[in-house]
Amino acid sequence: MSFPNEMTGGEAIVRMLLAHEAGPMFGMGGFQLLPFYDAARRLGLQHSLINDERLGAFAADAYAKVTGRVGLCDATLGPGATNLVTGLVEALNAGSPMVVIVGDSHRAHSWKNMTQESRQIEILRPACKELIRIEEIDRIPELIRRAFHVATSGRPGPVVVDVPEDVCHGMTSFSPSDFAADPRHVAAPALRCRPAAGDLARAARMLTEAKRPMMLCGGGVHISGAAATVAAFAEATGIPVAHTMTGKGAVACTSPNNAGLFGRYDRIANTLIAESDCLFVVGCKLGEIATKRYTVPGPAARVIHLDIVAEEFGRTLVPELALWGDVRETISELAGLMQSDAARLADDRAPYIADVAARMEKWRASVQERLTSDETPVHMARMLNELNTLLPANAALIADGGFAAHWGGLLYDTKVPGRGFVPDRGFASIGYGLPGCMGAVLGKRALGDDGPVFGITGDGGFNMTLGELETARRMNLGFTLMVVNNAASGYVKALQHLMYGEGNYQSSDLRDTNYAKIVEGFDCQGIRVEKPGDLAAAIRAGMAERNRPTIIDVVVTRDPAKMLPAVDNRTVQVRKGDRVA
């Protein structure tokens, strides 16, 4: 296609997205962005209509999490723009690189009660890493380049590009050279840095001298693409690794170095943390759940904290040593500094690693009855155990907020280092499961990975989003979403049970619904599982269907006393009189 003498602002935006090898993109158009949509059609930008802008942001976020590439979505002005807020905050808190195009009112008509007009810039600005408003058509290439630069640098995040109607519809001349893109900013992290040499040397000494060092890994490991590097370092130097929900896969969960989830829902990690003489916190913000509401680690702990965002140091605890840098590059540098001692350290710490593995096996034995439970309704632990048994190493498990993430974080075992477990813990919003699966499928396609995508959501989360099955079916996306059907807003009901006792529930019950039948109306495969013995066949059927969604409606316990994977420590604090949010 020949280069036009003049083009609309909308076409210039599309050309800049294509220059950054961007796509797929989700959105719902309006008049303000019509030239953008027309150019997307003519120039071949992979764009799909979404039914809810929030879910388009979630799908773009999951795509970014799985690939490291920039996720894309768009919305028209007013309600379209404001519907993005929840998805933007997830990406902002989780460090997901995204560029979001938002239409806005015609500048000559602004603040004259334009239809759907709102103070959307003020609403969106705190929900994103940066908001860029394009005031001149000529600056579109420059400012879209800037959006990709910001989205992929430092801790990645979402950048909103606000485009007034007259800028999108207006015409101007460009030259082909205007649409150059820096290839470093196609994916995150675009730029990497290391801490000061003296700090690295000190960290190496602390880790070498420690008798019981331990790594606490968060989602920053995956943002940096550092899982293989972290796993190799931990194994070479004899250091066990515990992880947050987003950090799962920093080492394989099947590795003898794996100490599992730490914080509110732990296996063995919290005890090991208390026994450790040097904690190496890696790419972890040490938030409420990871620290069991700021009680783990204890006040006497020696902590080295590595993060790409200096503002995280001292937020929840003051480390003895702060390392400001990229995870992959920093761990690689430490591995080099400790190389001469690595073999000795691995030998000296072999009993320590063996003890960690033995404790993990003891924990597994203690929960074996639940993992293999034949009780009806289906036990959540049995469901996760079936996934552990049947899903291959290159599978991705998407976990919705609430139960899905907590049960999955505790019991799902990744088999290789990497981001095989994708929860929405940036904002922990309900409703991520279905759009998250959509984005993950597209992400795996982009990577040339044919591993299956599974998701876990609750019936409440599925109720919010099931209309997006139309989008997934229209796009021929093959994934399996397991709906944990407990006929309740289960997390709330379980907490009400703990706080106020049996029978004292308010606004936490749902109607018992057969979702397997409902999804057949979307031409999706629906399977209802009421007995644990039927789980394996349903999972295999889901993996076999690669061109449309499969929904497995799993009927689990209605007893709120059995819904949580462990006692929630917040209820203990409340009973002691502590103030909680």
pLDDT tens-digit map of 428-445: 999 999 999 999 999 999
Q: How far is CA 164 from CA 3, 74, 127, 187, in A?
A: 24, 13, 19, 27
Q: What is the pLDDT of residues 147-156, one digit of tens each?
A: 999 999 999 9
412 and 502 together in one domain: yes
Beta bridge partners of 100: 73, 160
Same domain, 205 and 178: no
Least confident of 169-173, 211-215, 227-231, 265-269: 265-269
Q: Is the pLDDT of residue 533 over 60?
A: yes
Report whether 155 contacts 126 (CB < 8 A): no
Shared domain for 537 and 408, answered yes or no, is: yes
Pairwise CA distance, residues 26 & 29, whole Å: 10
Using alpha carbons, select from 521, 516, 522, 559 the residue that is nearest to residue 534. 516
Mean pLDDT of 539-555: 98
Per cent of the chain over pLDDT 70 is 97
Same domain membership, residue 387 and residue 333 = no
Please report whether residue 1 resides in a domain: no
Q: CATH number for the domain including 151?
A: 3.40.50.970
* Residue 403 in domain: yes
| 304 lies in the same domain as 389 | no
Is the domain of 381 the same as that of 351?
A: no
Q: Which of 363, 381, 413 is the last residue of a domain?
A: 363
Give me the domain span that covers residue 24: 7-186
pLDDT of amino acid 579: 31
Domain for residue 192, yes or no? no
- The whole-number average pLDDT for the span 39-55 is 98
- Where does a domain end: 363, 388, 421? 363
- Is 577's pLDDT higher than 80? no
Amino acid at 437: C
Residue 568 confidence (pLDDT) above 70: no
Residue 505 has pLDDT above 60, yes or no: yes
Phi, psi of 528 (to 5 degrees): -105, 130
- Please say which residue of 340, 363, 386 terminates a domain: 363
Taking the C-alpha atoms of residue 216 and residue 230, their distance in angstroms, rounded to an integer, is 11
User: Are 208 and 177 within one domain?
Assistant: no
On whether both 350 and 371 belong to a single domain, the answer is no
CATH number, domain of 308, equals 3.40.50.1220
Question: Which residue from 127, 24, 114, 130 is spatially nearest to 77, judged by alpha carbons?
Answer: 114
Please count the structural domains in the chain.
3
**Residue 580 maps to a domain:** no
| Whether residues 418 and 341 fall in one domain | no
pLDDT at residue 567 in the model? 55
Is the Cα dihedral 461, 464, 466, 472 positive or negative? negative
Query: Measuring CA to CA, which residue among 231, 212, 405, 202 is closest to residue 306?
Result: 202
> What number of CA atoms fall less than 13 Å from residue 395's CA on the CB side?
25
289-339 per-position pLDDT tens digit:
999 999 999 999 999 999 999 999 999 999 999 999 999 999 999 999 999
- Residue 569 has what pLDDT? 57
pLDDT at 1: 60
What's the pLDDT at 580?
A: 29
| The pLDDT of residue 177 is above 50 | yes
Length of the chain: 581
Question: Do 146 and 286 belong to one domain?
Answer: no
pLDDT for residue 5: 86
In a domain, 2, yes or no: no
Residue 419 scores a pLDDT above 50:
yes
Q: Is the pLDDT of residue 353 over 80?
A: yes
Q: What is the mean pLDDT of residues 111-136?
A: 94
Q: Residue 112's pLDDT is what?
A: 86
The answer to the question of residue 250 being in a domain is yes
**Pairing mode, strands 525-529 and 453-458:** unpaired
Domain assignment present for residue 581? The answer is no
Average pLDDT, rounded, for the chain: 95
Task: Name the nearest CA neighbour of 225 among 73, 332, 129, 91.
Answer: 332
Instruction: Kindly tell me if the per-residue pLDDT of 572 is higher than 80.
Output: no
Name beta bridge partners: 552. Answer: 482, 527
pLDDT band at 115 (very low <50, low <70, confident <90, very high): confident
Q: Is residue 441 part of a domain?
A: yes
Helix axes 535-544, 380-390, angle to 10 degrees: 50
Same domain, 545 and 396: yes
Considering the domain architecture, whether residues 83 and 159 belong to the same structural domain is answered as yes
What does the buried/exposed string (b/e) look like for 347-379 if buried means 16 or more CB atoms within 10 Å of the residue's CB?
eebeebbebbbebbeeeeeebeebbebeeebbb
Q: What is the mean pLDDT of residues 357-376?
A: 96
